[in-house]
Structure 1
């Protein structure tokens, strides 16, 4: 039997998705498929390691068990995929799977606590009546039984993590706007990862990490992945996806917290202050409404956010509008950025020019000399979201006072799709090269002085700095006059012909 390839895994996963398709929404059933992939992977690793130790210790159960307890994950036999598969026709299969997941969490508490808490394989509300539910679960187990994920049988150690990323991408596409919330398109992640320039021993942070794919992209830029990884996600199911994503990409020590980053940041230092990070990347939810509700008191009808409600004093420069949390995320990230650190975030274009409190906040981070670059990227890069976006790069401890503006939004700098546009490798390379050279290029980039930005009243709208206007060729009036004469002559001829036909018809 040949080795398991990337294509084999992707095909089996997509086949498993067909089991659910038409019955429940893909934004829901993705969790069942990705959890099952995780369990199958753990089980196959467990099975192969057990065989190694059985041979090594010649069947001595005590020594075998001791060795198995030192493995990356610990599984008892009733929590393995093979056991679940053997019970696939059991009328209580949903309960059996839930029990196995609970056991896996309990026996791997430090790594997997709460990872499966948001998914119920026995849910009538989601999976239907007992008979229908059992049919779905039996089919899913049969689909996954076709996969051999033992380390010795997979073509490349990266293919499990790649398959997980592939499925997350497919589900995001399937689920439209809802899916885009937990997934940053690959080449956009690649752009952010290159711009943030991570180094060995950095603490890297994503305060709205979704399924964790952006963080993984950044970590992969560092030799031997020698960095400390921190993330936070407020959606419980997406938090679980992120934890599993890390493990399937062989990252066991990521610190991924579950909670509202704005109201309850979970990564604090020993003194209870916000932890500081050398590198921060983020794709926060665009213009999040009610972003400050976590600060509201019990039963408070007319809640209004004010700076003193935040124990970390992140919002002293101004309070973002209640209906648009973009600047609140920027303030949180800047408060979490270490001196000498770099932060790269993608936001809706409106943050560049909107007035009132947002202008006040924008003015502060420009005056403090944190803003390093403003990059306009094409519209519709996100599934189901047509608005254009901007990538902002911040640095703490800058000596230069200029700000680089790049306009990469023109049609020549991306690939157009039917429902979504895509950055290509050459588009990312062009942006990164211009950013690294920090130079003015006609109709593409401009290095603006602080004085110019101040004269523009701290409005960062890119067309104010990068002139992409193309002059049209001058109109040749003589040629236009000749064309009009030709058209008039042609019209006269047609009218004459028409009159002739009408006469013949006696009209």
Structure 2
């Protein structure tokens, strides 16, 4: 995809958000904008495919709309056409409810919100794949306008902006990446609320490359994210696999709105419905998946940090947690999430999880869990990331890499906390920073002031504390002060000051002395004597 094409698509999408920005915050208007983009995508894709089925292929939506209307009016043609569309896409729309038809109605002054609402319902009821997909798009919200007419006008204005987008003509990844761009922008706009649905791309890239390292050519690679948000972390696997069409995605998300974003995101990235296995539920409360497959080649996680959970005693019998004898504290579910993900990791798999640094050194139950993981050789690598690289927190975070059946119990520590590019609101990991971390991870060797491979004995000596500064010394000694050179600088500086004073006094002598300035000049000269 050409850069200028990307920019124009991004700009058009972002411009359409301007209409809603003054009416509601980003956390609310993202549902409208992303929902309408998705509806247009489904509508346009269906229209262009219908033209192909009618053996009159075209890329012009208005021509495709006219062909579809004519075919729909012919009973003999209509039934076969709708059956084929339903088979190929799992949904159909009546000709008057397509995005193209609704925009034409807007230009004629005939548009009614109820028609769009009916289009949403038609898609949602056509297949369980689309069930409740548009439930967050409240077309009758007072925030869109105090009257039905104003609500109508607000949505119509957004649709007119979106109408220029050629969303169906692009490859799935192109529109999917634009969608990712918007989600990232919303995350930036909505700050703390964004953490529930978005992991910044550089962090996603690093984690995914580690999980896929050496397995880029594997067919049928399975990847699991039990706190998937909008699915961006999962979908990175598609970018770095050489067999992207064969990847099987498994994801769970508690927040229904965010879960729906992930479903849309998958479809917009061109992921086959058969390859999507997404679930809307509480990951910790009830284990999922429990039907085959239950273990995966890669586990990627960015769970909510130090979240509360029930930690009820019954969980001690849960196979995810039972072997550790204790549970993560009620006020800090970090290890509960980690153990859940690790439980679902294949013996040959790799897991990457982002957590706050507290999991590396906190004691009590967390210390016991950490000790058992280390004794089993589960913790492979600990990577310290810079502060302020996430939208929902400014704290520094750590990426922990876990594996099963390792031949060793040593741990690689990488301190990448000081290597970043300063951004406007967030610090940024550049490609060069990511490549350096990845190269260090692969080589698994000591790098002065950056990385250290700690033996198990070393870790035991540190009482199973994994705090990175215990293993990687990044202290920089200050340069010794050169007294002779400093003295010479002071002499030169005093000389310059004296010369400047003399020049200034000479200027004062040249001033015309009057009764008004006489006292001021004398007082000024006195300062320099």
The CA distance in 2 between the partners of 1:84 and 1:487, in whole Å, is 76
CA RMSD of aligned residues (A): 3.1
CA separation in 2, counterparts of 1:430 and 1:370?
A: 24
- TM-score for both structures, normalised by structure 2: 0.83
Pairwise CA distance, 1:505: 7.1
CA distance in 1, matches of 2:191, 2:28: 13
Corresponding residue of 2:518: none
Where in structure 2 are the equivalents of 1:279-290 lying within 5 Å? 279-288=298-307, 290=308
Choose from 247, 251, 261 the match for 1:227.
247
Alpha-carbon distance between aligned partners in 2 of 1:370 and 1:364, rounded to the nearest angstrom: 9
8 Å CA contact 2:316, 2:322 repeated in 1: no
Alignment of 1:396-411 (within 5 A): 396-410=404-418
1:464 aligns with 2:470: yes
Query: Which of the residues 379, 384, 402 maps onto 1:376?
Result: 384
Q: What is the deviation of 1:224?
A: 2.9
The alignment status of 1:65 with 2:71, answered yes or no, reads: no
| Matches of 1:373 and 1:503, distance apart in 2 | 68
Instruction: List runs of 5+ in structure 2 lacking aligned partners.
Output: 57-66, 506-520
1:191 and 2:210 equivalent?
no
Counterpart in the other structure of 2:7? 7
2:82·2:92 contact (CA, 8 Å) conserved in 1? no
Cα deviation digits, residues 219-272 of structure 1 (max 9, x gap):
3322232121100111111111100000000012311111111112331126xx
2:149 is matched with which residue: 108, 131, 147?
Answer: 131
- Tell me if 1:345 matches 2:353: yes
For 1:203, the equivalent position in structure 2 comes to 222
Residue 110 of structure 2 is aligned to residue 84 of structure 1 = no
| Separation in 1, partners of 2:92, 2:119 | 9
Deviations 1:386-407 (A, max 9, x none): 1101110000111122110111
| Higher share of residues assigned helix | 2
User: Is this contact kept in 2: 1:189–1:217, CA < 8 A?
Assistant: yes
Q: Which moved more, 1:471-480 or 1:390-399?
A: 471-480
2:115 — aligned with what? 96
1:428 equivalent in alignment to 2:434: yes
Give matches, 1:261-272, under 5 Å: 261-269=283-291
Matched, 1:34 2:60: no
Residue 150 of structure 1 and its aligned partner are, at CA, apart by: 3.9
1:257 aligns with 2:274: no
Q: 1:108 aligns with which of 123, 127, 135?
A: 127
The answer as to whether partners of 1:12 and 1:147 remain within 8 angstroms in 2 is yes
| 1:167 alignment counterpart | 182
SS at match of 2:382: strand
Native 8 Å contact 2:350 2:403 kept in 1: yes
Q: Matches of 2:370 and 2:167 in 1, distance apart?
A: 50
TM-score by length of 1: 0.87
Equivalent residue number for residue 305 of structure 1: 312
User: Per-residue deviation at 1:76?
Assistant: 2.0
Query: Which is higher, the Rg of structure 1 or of structure 2?
Result: 2
CA distance in structure 1 between the aligned counterparts of 2:173 and 2:492, rounded to whole angstroms: 68
Q: Could you tell me which of 298, 319, 327 is aligned with 1:319?
A: 327
Note if contact 1:173-1:180 (Cα within 8 Å) is conserved in structure 2.
Answer: no
1:493, CA displacement in angstroms?
11
- Report deviation, 1:84: 2.9
Cα distance 1:311–1:49, how it changes in 2: closer, same or farther (>3 A)? same
1:218 aligns with 2:237: yes
Q: Kindly indicate whether the alpha-carbon contact (under 8 Å) linking 2:23 and 2:144 is maintained by their aligned counterparts in 1.
A: no
Quick one: distance in 2 between partners of 1:144 and 1:352?
47
Task: Note if contact 2:375-2:409 (Cα within 8 Å) is conserved in structure 1.
Answer: no
Equivalent of 1:120, from 134, 138, 144?
Answer: 138
1:236 to 231, 235, 256: 256
Q: Aligned to 1:175, what secondary structure does the other structure show? A: helix
Distance (Å, rounded) in 1 between the aligned partners of 2:162 and 2:52: 24
Distance (Å, rounded) in 1 between the aligned partners of 2:500 and 2:322:
73
**1:443 is the counterpart of 2:458:** no
Does the Cα contact within 8 Å between 1:42 and 1:73 map onto a contact in 2?
no
1:97 deviates by 2.2
Aligned residues: 483
Q: Residue 176 of structure 1 contacts residue 383 of structure 1 at CA under 8 Å; is this kept in 2?
A: yes
Q: 1:320 and 1:491 mapped to 2: Cα distance?
A: 66
**Separation of aligned partners in 2, 1:86 and 1:250:** 28
Contact 2:321 2:327 in 1 (8 A): no
Cα distance, 1:124–1:87 mapped onto 2, change above 3 Å: farther
The answer as to whether partners of 2:381 and 2:411 remain within 8 angstroms in 1 is yes
* Structure 1 gap ranges (5+): 293-303
The match for 2:337 is 329
Contact kept? 1:79, 1:104, Cα under 8 Å? no
Q: Is the 8 A contact 2:43 2:93 kept in 1?
A: no
SS of equivalent to 2:89: coil
Aligned partner of 1:299 in structure 2 is none
